[in-house]
């Protein structure tokens, strides 16, 4: 829970600003029950459909893709663990894809810290950070392209990597430093504190 409601609900609400249909992918065994107060086992958290994911991130995305209507032209993939992603970020990545100049769009932030390559506790070298970016979600893709990228069943740390492997252009749009990812328990405290600056 964050800000009085489930973390995933914040992400669903933001996704609704650009999406006609929202699919939430949950870990195996965490599918909401039909008697949980939702319209049924298929819908919860404000989503149109809830499905169980797979053993990897990519497998989970493929499970979600199976629930996306076939006539969708743009598909947005977002980590629910980023509840502070503002609606403007969803709009930015979708607009980039709709422009027709790319097959995908991702939000990025420039790396500002010095980077070191460390092996067994010993600094081996300093990495040139020029051009290096950290990547966020939401990420938007041409629907046909994203489905093709997942057709081989490959795994990657994000969907853009699979699309890049097809030789498709992926554009970078400015990310949002407030779009933090919940990774450690202490991150919940940070997100609670930041909530008012991102959402009304």
pTM for this predicted structure: 0.87
| Three-class secondary structure of residue 119 per DSSP | strand
Per-residue pLDDT tens over the stretch 44-53: 788 999 999 9
Domains of the chain: 7-198 (3.90.550.10)
Give pLDDT, residue 36: 43
Give pLDDT, residue 3: 84
Give pLDDT, residue 71: 94
Q: Which residues of the chain have pLDDT under 50?
A: 34-41
Could you tell me where the DSSP H helices lie in 7-152? 7-15, 57-65, 87-98, 143-150
Give pLDDT, residue 113: 92
């Amino acid at each position: 829970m964050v800000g009085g409601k489930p973390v995933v609900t914040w992400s669903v609400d933001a996704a609704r600003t650009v999406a006609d249909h929202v699919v939430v992918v949950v870990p195996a065994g965490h599918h909401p029950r039909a008697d949980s107060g939702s319209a049924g086992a298929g819908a919860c958290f404000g989503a149109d459909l809830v499905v169980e994911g797979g053993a990897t991130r990519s497998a989970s995305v493929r499970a979600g893709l199976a629930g996306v209507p076939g006539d969708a032209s743009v598909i947005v993939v977002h980590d629910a663990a980023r509840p502070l992603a503002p609606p403007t970020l969803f709009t930015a990545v979708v607009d980039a894809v709709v422009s027709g100049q790319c097959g995908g769009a991702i939000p990025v932030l420039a790396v500002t810290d010095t980077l070191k390559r460390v092996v067994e506790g010993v600094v081996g070298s300093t990495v040139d950070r020029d051009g290096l970016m950290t990547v966020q979600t939401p990420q938007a893709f041409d629907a046909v392209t994203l489905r093709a990228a997942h057709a081989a069943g490959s795994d990657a740390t994000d969907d853009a990597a699979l699309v890049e492997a097809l030789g498709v252009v992926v554009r970078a749009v400015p990310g949002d430093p407030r779009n933090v990812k919940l990774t450690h328990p202490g991150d919940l405290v940070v997100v609670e504190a930041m909530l008012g600056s991102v959402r009304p």
